[in-house]
């Protein structure tokens, strides 16, 4: 009897592990093979002397490589994130590799609306222009839970926080035109779904729902891009993108078993380095041919297809209205 129970438990564990593997592996294989056939490269040689760029999450991963390249082209770069120590290390690295000493850190916690407002006030009082805003910071793999503002933590960091930040910096962007807003989304937005009335609320606990919340937040980024583009004056553009599957720390809080599966997938398919993952972001920041392109979604430095939900104008407007309400 005891042996039978042990075998049953082992079988259950195996089935759960297999299900977890398939949950992560199959979408990754599909996306890598079907949606990422090549690695795009930003070919612009534009200079940014005299311009100001703001990169959220610019102290690591894709954000660090984005900040580095913008600094290399002469921009004053503001790195906005929580970790001051890591940011200091990133700034020292950027300065050493680019020779640009106009790279600064300003504290920002996207999981707290009060921090976003304080950051925006400080930025607006410090700088007389903002030419490029890169909403790069994000998180994934977190347990579904509410922030102090009553919003799911992944939704707040990946969507509502950047939404509020951008709105608070719009006057500066308008005064600096031509200016650009770049929103780092993900092709996983294709798997996102929600009801507008409870889009800010967490799902029940579980790895599957953690991934679904990430997909939801990235879908909202695409919908937001469409809504914001309709409201911006000529000379200010906004576009979103999928950076590719990159080896970064964004899902580091997944359970160890899930991380092992994810690492296996990354190694198997030679996913991108952070520098490679930053190329589409840089393309949207720099490419001369995109000066008047707005409201689009890009992948591998080229315009790409997005979820059909983003073509639902009623949904796009409902999400915008609800987001304004939740961040007011």
* Residues labelled as active-site residues: 214
Q: Name every residue whose Cβ is closer than 8 Å to that of residue 299 and which is 6 or more positions away in sequence.
A: 35, 36, 40, 187, 241, 242, 244, 280
With bands split at pLDDT 50, 70 and 90, how would you rate the model's confidence at 14? very low
Q: What pLDDT, on a 0 to 100 scale, did the predictor assign at position 140?
A: 78
pLDDT one-digit tens code per residue, 293-305? 999 999 999 999 9
Number of H helices, E strands in the chain: 11, 8
pLDDT one-digit tens code per residue, 159-217? 999 999 999 999 999 999 999 999 999 999 999 988 999 898 876 665 666 788 899 99
Q: Name every residue whose Cβ is closer than 8 Å to that of residue 78 and which is 6 or more positions away in sequence.
A: 52, 53, 54, 55, 58, 104, 105, 106, 123, 127
Q: Is the pLDDT of residue 150 over 50?
A: yes
Q: What pLDDT, on a 0 to 100 scale, did the predictor assign at position 13?
A: 45
pLDDT one-digit tens code per residue, 267-288? 555 578 999 999 999 999 999 9
Q: What pLDDT, on a 0 to 100 scale, did the predictor assign at position 212?
A: 86
Mean pLDDT of 303-328: 96
The separation between CA 156 and the C-alpha centre of its own chain, rounded to angstroms, equals: 12
pLDDT one-digit tens code per residue, 51-63? 999 999 999 999 9
The separation between CA 319 and the C-alpha centre of its own chain, rounded to angstroms, equals: 18
Q: What pLDDT, on a 0 to 100 scale, did the predictor assign at position 46?
A: 98
Q: How far apart are the first and last CA of the chain?
A: 61
**CATH class of this structure's domain 2-327:** alpha beta
Higher pLDDT, 23 or 323: 323
Mean pLDDT of 72-77: 99
Mean pLDDT of 140-164: 91
Q: What pLDDT, on a 0 to 100 scale, did the predictor assign at position 247?
A: 60
Average pLDDT of the chain is: 87
Long-range contacts (CB closer than 8 Å, 24 or more residues apart) made by 17-26: 17/257, 20/207, 20/257, 20/258, 20/261, 21/261, 23/207, 23/208, 23/211, 24/211, 24/258, 24/261, 24/262, 24/265, 25/261, 25/264, 25/265
pLDDT one-digit tens code per residue, 205-255? 656 667 888 999 999 999 999 999 999 999 999 999 999 887 655 455 555
Q: What pLDDT, on a 0 to 100 scale, did the predictor assign at position 130?
A: 99
CA dihedral of 282, 283, 289, 295, whole degrees rounded to 10: -100
d(CA 106, CA 187): 29
Q: Where do the structural domains in the chain lie, given as residue ranges?
A: 2-327
Mean pLDDT of 141-155: 87
Q: What pLDDT, on a 0 to 100 scale, did the predictor assign at position 59?
A: 97
From the list 241, 240, 232, 242, the residue with the least C-alpha distance to 178 is 232
pLDDT one-digit tens code per residue, 85-117? 999 999 999 999 999 999 999 999 999 999 999
DSSP state of 152: B
Q: What pLDDT, on a 0 to 100 scale, did the predictor assign at position 264?
A: 55
d(CA 3, CA 109): 51
Higher pLDDT, 316 or 248: 316
d(CA 284, CA 180): 8
Q: Are strands 236-242 and 297-299 parallel, antiparallel or unpaired?
A: parallel
The CA-atom distances, in angstroms, between 219 and each of 71, 190, 299, 306 are: 30, 7, 15, 9
């Amino acid at each position: 009897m005891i042996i039978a129970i042990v075998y049953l438990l082992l079988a259950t564990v195996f089935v759960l592990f297999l299900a977890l593997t398939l949950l992560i592996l199959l979408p990754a294989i599909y996306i890598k093979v079907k949606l990422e056939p090549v690695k795009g490269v930003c070919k612009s040689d534009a200079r940014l002397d005299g311009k100001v760029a703001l990169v959220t999450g610019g102290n690591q991963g894709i954000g660090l490589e984005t900040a580095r390249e913008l600094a290399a082209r002469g921009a004053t770069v503001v790195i906005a994130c929580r970790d001051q120590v890591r940011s200091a290390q990133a700034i020292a690295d950027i300065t050493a590799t680019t020779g640009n000493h106009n790279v600064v850190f300003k504290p920002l916690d996207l999981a707290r609306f009060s921090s976003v407002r304080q950051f925006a006030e400080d930025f607006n009082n410090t700088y007389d222009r903002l030419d490029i805003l890169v909403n790069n910071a994000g998180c994934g793999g977190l347990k579904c839970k509410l922030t102090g503002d009553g919003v799911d933590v992944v939704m707040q960091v990946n969507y509502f926080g950047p939404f509020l930040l951008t709105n608070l910096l719009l006057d500066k962007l308008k005064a600096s035109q031509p200016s650009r807003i770049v929103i780092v989304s993900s092709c996983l937005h294709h798997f996102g779904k929600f009801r507008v009335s409870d889009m800010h609320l967490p799902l029940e606990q579980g790895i599957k729902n953690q991934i679904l919340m990430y997909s939801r937040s990235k879908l909202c980024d695409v919908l937001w891009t469409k809504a914001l583009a309709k409201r911006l004056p000529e000379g200010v553009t906004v576009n979103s993108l999928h950076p590719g599957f990159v080896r970064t720390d964004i899902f580091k809080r997944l359970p160890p078993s899930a991380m092992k599966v994810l690492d296996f997938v990354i190694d198997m398919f030679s996913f991108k380095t952070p520098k490679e993952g930053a190329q589409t972001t840089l393309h949207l920041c720099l490419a001369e041919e995109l000066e008047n392109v707005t409201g689009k979604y890009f992948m591998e430095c080229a315009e790409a297809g997005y979820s059909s939900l983003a073509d639902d104008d009623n949904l796009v407007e409902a999400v915008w209205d609800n987001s304004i309400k939740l961040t007011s």
